[in-house]
């Protein structure tokens, strides 16, 4: 195990700040690990070796001059490839965008650069964020570091795997229906989907605009708190960005006290569909937390069973619209046969550029928005969405947070899930949170007998990330995985 690479983000930043390590050492250690192990994991689509080293050297030079450094100075962070980076290729793991380098930075990337973080590379994911296993990447799947024959979850699978494997101190993921939390659960890392509007979507390649949110994927809850603090906040370029002030999450993160916290256990999240091994880990978690003084309340979110169809209708409808811009004209993949008409160029480019799952969702969304079908499908789903939101409002009148499994199963085998519906069911516990715009946190709380991580999901009131992080800290302290990290073998050259 390379020591530097499994330090927390907070600790890595501290070492650079006090001179315990140089930025260059951190970057070299991570690059060595990536070079040695990522061929097996395939977490990255692009590693910016030269850029990362140059940025690290600059930070070290600034430090030696006594310049003030940002709070993430020298810390390598990976970015899911649906977030645009000026000067680094961004493809959304799609053939459609192969070779595209954006001329601008996402808001979150600007903020990371301003904090002096090192943007070490772009991470694999399901194409345009559409999937739950990272198998829908045009560049091939990412493998779960805990078991290379298994998927890492998705769609932010590369980002979760990279954090678990020690390829970066933290990742920036995106979550439309669970895409931060579910892979975090399956890779044994911490993943936070903030309240809708908390983090600017400027520069996030849209999948479903009313559901998409950017968030941190880290090895500790404290890391997530720090990263959220740095990326959250109002951005005038996003009309849905919230203006509320950003709390100092990290300093307010008192150490793991849950006595008196009222935690709701929604019955619908503990039903038949859960794998018994996952269920056992959750039961143990609940009893540990009860011993620590948390008060559990059983309650019901009656519209939960409608969340899945509601989500897929709304997400696919928005996706069909958002993906209309990919036409092979201004950027991206273009297929133009000899003598092709304009319509041929559109159809050929789109048909060749999009993968099967993306096409399926575009088709479903196009269906739902057609004249004559809109009211029965899209509008109906928006109404049910309001009912799902109302369930949560009522629940949060009684409790501080909700605790649920993050996913019904631990990581499954690559190629194991064959039908789209089967795959969609894997998101059943995460997507209601997006529909309601709530913050959700996944924290690793145990391993299955097969040695696969299991995450617990905490859901909170809008803008109440702090309560989630505090409760998550308590889970983290009392339910630590053992072993904490997957064993991928030693890496030469990494310190």
Partner 1 sequence: MSTVAPVGDAALPAVLDEWEPVIGLEIHVQLATASKAFSPSGVAFGAPPNSLTDPLVLGLPGTLPVFNRRALELAVRLGVATSSKIRARSRFARKHYFYPDLPKGYQISQYDEPLCEDGAIDVLVGTRRMAIRLQRIHLEEDAGKSSHEGATSHLDLNRAGVPLVEVVTAPELASAEEAAELMRSIHRLVRWLEISEADMEKGQLRCDANVSVRRRGEDRLGTRTELKNINSFRFVQKAIEHEILRQIRILETGGRILRETRLWDAMGGVSFPMRSKEEANDYRYFPDPDLPPLVVDAQIMGAVLGTLPELPGPRFERYQRELGVSPDDARTLVSERPLAEYFEAAVAARRPEAAVGVRGRAVANWLLTELLGALNGDDKAIGDSPLSPASLAELVDLIEDGTISGKIGKDVFESCYASGQSPAAYVESKGLRQISNEAELLKIIEQVLVTCAKQAADYRAGKEGLFGFFVGQVMKATGGRANPQLTSELMLRALKS
Partner 2 sequence: MAELTAHEVSEIAHLAMLTLSAEEAETMRLELSAILESMTALAAVDTSSVVPMTHAVPMDLRLRADVVEPSLPVEVALGAAPARAEDAFVVPVVISEA
Alpha carbon 292 to chain centroid distance?
29
Catalytic (active site) residue 179: yes
Site for partner 2 in 183-212 (CB under 8 A): 195-197, 210-211
Q: Which does 205 bind (CB under 5 to 8 A by kind): partner 1, partner 2, none?
A: partner 1
Q: Rounded to 5 degrees, what are φ and ψ at 336?
A: -135, 100
Q: Do the Cβ atoms of 212 and 84 come closer than 8 Å?
A: no
Residue closer to partner 1, measured from CB, 30 or 350: 350
Chain contacts with partner 1 (rule: CB under 8 A): 83-84, 90, 92, 97, 100, 102-104, 106, 201-206, 208-210, 236-240, 317-318, 320-321, 323-327, 329-331, 342-343, 346, 366, 369-371, 374, 378
Q: State how far the alpha carbon of 311 is from the alpha carbons of 178, 212, 214, 327, in Å.
A: 11, 12, 18, 26
Residue closer to partner 1, measured from CB, 236 or 415: 236
Site for partner 2 in 409-428 (CB under 8 A): 419-421, 424
What minimum distance in Å lies between the beta carbon of 133 and partner 2?
16
Catalytic residue, chosen from 133, 155, 171, 349, is 155
Q: State how far the alpha carbon of 387 is from the alpha carbons of 141, 302, 381, 400, in Å.
A: 36, 9, 10, 20
| Contact flag: residue 351 with partner 2 (CB under 8 A) | yes
In sequence order, the 6+-apart residues with CB closer than 8 A to the CB of 172 are 77, 78, 79, 80, 83, 108, 112, 159, 214, 215, 216, 217, 227, 231
Pairing of strands 213-218, 295-299: unpaired
Residue closer to partner 1, measured from CB, 240 or 467: 240
Q: Which does 1 bind (CB under 5 to 8 A by kind): partner 2, partner 1, none?
A: none
Catalytic residue, chosen from 2, 80, 171, 241, is 80
Q: CB under 8 A: which stretch of 135-143, 252-260, 270-278, 329-337 binds partner 2?
A: 329-337
In sequence order, the 6+-apart residues with CB closer than 8 A to the CB of 218 are 8, 9, 163, 169, 170, 171, 189, 190, 191, 224, 227
Q: Rounded to 5 degrees, what are φ and ψ at 53?
A: -65, -45
Q: Do the Cβ atoms of 74 and 26 come closer than 8 Å?
A: yes
What minimum distance in Å lies between the beta carbon of 346 and partner 1?
6
| Contact flag: residue 465 with partner 2 (CB under 8 A) | no
| Contact flag: residue 39 with partner 2 (CB under 8 A) | no
Among 8, 58, 240, 467, binds partner 2 (CB under 8 A): 240
| Contact flag: residue 313 with partner 2 (CB under 8 A) | yes
Catalytic (active site) residue 80: yes
Catalytic (active site) residue 470: no
Q: Do the Cβ atoms of 162 and 44 come closer than 8 Å?
A: yes
Residue that has been written with the tokens 């001179």 in this structure: 19
Q: CB under 8 A: which stretch of 18-26, 71-79, 267-275, 344-352 binds partner 2?
A: 344-352
Catalytic residue, chosen from 179, 184, 185, 349, is 179
What minimum distance in Å lies between the beta carbon of 367 and partner 2?
5
Instruction: Convert residues 382-411 into a mask of x (bound to partner 2 by CB under 8 A) and - (unbound).
Output: xxxxxx-x----------------------
Q: Do the Cβ atoms of 3 and 495 come closer than 8 Å?
A: yes
Q: Which does 284 bind (CB under 5 to 8 A by kind): partner 2, partner 1, none?
A: none
Q: Do the Cβ atoms of 488 and 251 come closer than 8 Å?
A: no
| Contact flag: residue 341 with partner 2 (CB under 8 A) | yes
Q: Which does 98 bind (CB under 5 to 8 A by kind): partner 1, partner 2, none?
A: none
Among 7, 436, 441, 445, binds partner 2 (CB under 8 A): 436
Q: Which does 381 bind (CB under 5 to 8 A by kind): partner 1, partner 2, none?
A: partner 2
**The pair of three-digit structure tokens given for residue 285, joined into one six-digit string:** 């978690």
**Catalytically annotated residues:** 80, 155, 179
């Amino acid at each position: 195990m390379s020591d530097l690479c499994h330090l927390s983000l907070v600790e890595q930043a501290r070492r650079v700040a006090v001179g315990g390590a140089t930025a260059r050492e951190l970057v070299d250690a991570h690059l060595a690990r990536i070079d040695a192990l990522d061929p097996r994991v395939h977490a990255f689509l692009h590693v910016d070796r030269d850029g990362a080293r140059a940025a690290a050297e600059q930070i070290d030079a600034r430090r030696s001059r006594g310049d003030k450094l940002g709070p993430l100075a020298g810390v390598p962070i990976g970015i899911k490839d649906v977030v645009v980076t000026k000067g680094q290729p961004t493809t959304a793991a799609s053939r459609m965008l192969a070779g595209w380098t954006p001329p601008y930075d996402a808001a979150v990337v600007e903020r990371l650069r301003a904090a002096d973080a090192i943007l070490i590379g772009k991470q694999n994911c399901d194409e345009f964020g559409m999937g739950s296993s990272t198998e829908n990447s045009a560049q091939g799947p990412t493998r779960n570091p805990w078991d290379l024959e298994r998927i890492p979850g998705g769609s932010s699978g590369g980002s979760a795997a990279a954090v678990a494997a020690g390829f970066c101190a933290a990742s920036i993921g995106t979550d439309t229906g669970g895409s931060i939390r579910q892979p975090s659960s399956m890779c044994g890392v911490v993943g936070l989907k903030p309240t809708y509007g908390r983090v600017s979507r400027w520069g996030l390649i849209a999948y479903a605009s009313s559901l998409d949110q950017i968030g941190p994927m880290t090895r500790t809850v404290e890391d997530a708190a720090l990263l959220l603090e740095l990326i959250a906040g109002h951005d005038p370029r996003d009309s849905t960005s919230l203006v509320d002030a950003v709390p100092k999450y990290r300093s307010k993160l008192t150490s793991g006290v849950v006595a008196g916290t009222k935690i709701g256990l929604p019955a619908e999240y503990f039903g038949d569909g859960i794998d018994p091994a996952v269920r056992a880990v959750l039961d143990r978690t609940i009893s540990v937390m009860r011993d620590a003084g948390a008060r559990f309340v059983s309650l019901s979110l009656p519209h939960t069973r409608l969340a899945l169809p509601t989500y897929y209708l709304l997400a696919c409808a928005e996706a069909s619209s958002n993906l209309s811009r990919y036409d092979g004209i201004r950027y991206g993949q273009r297929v133009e046969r000899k003598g092709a008409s304009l319509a041929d160029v559109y159809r050929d480019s789109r048909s060749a550029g999009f993968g099967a799952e993306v096409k399926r969702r575009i088709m479903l969304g196009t269906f739902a928005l057609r004249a004559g079908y809109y009211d029965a499908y899209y509008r109906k789903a928006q109404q049910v969405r309001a009912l799902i939101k109302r369930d949560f409002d009522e629940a949060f009148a009684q409790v501080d947070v909700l605790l649920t499994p993050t996913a019904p199963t631990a990581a499954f085998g690559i190629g194991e899930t064959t039908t789209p519906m089967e795959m969609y069911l894997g998101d059943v516990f995460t997507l209601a949170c997006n529909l309601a715009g709530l913050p959700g946190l996944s924290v690793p709380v145990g391993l299955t007998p097969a040695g696969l991580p299991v995450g617990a999901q905490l859901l909170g009131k809008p803008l109440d990330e702090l309560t989630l992080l505090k409760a998550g800290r308590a889970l983290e302290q009392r339910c630590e995985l053992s072993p904490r990290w997957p064993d991928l073998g030693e890496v030469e050259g990494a310190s």
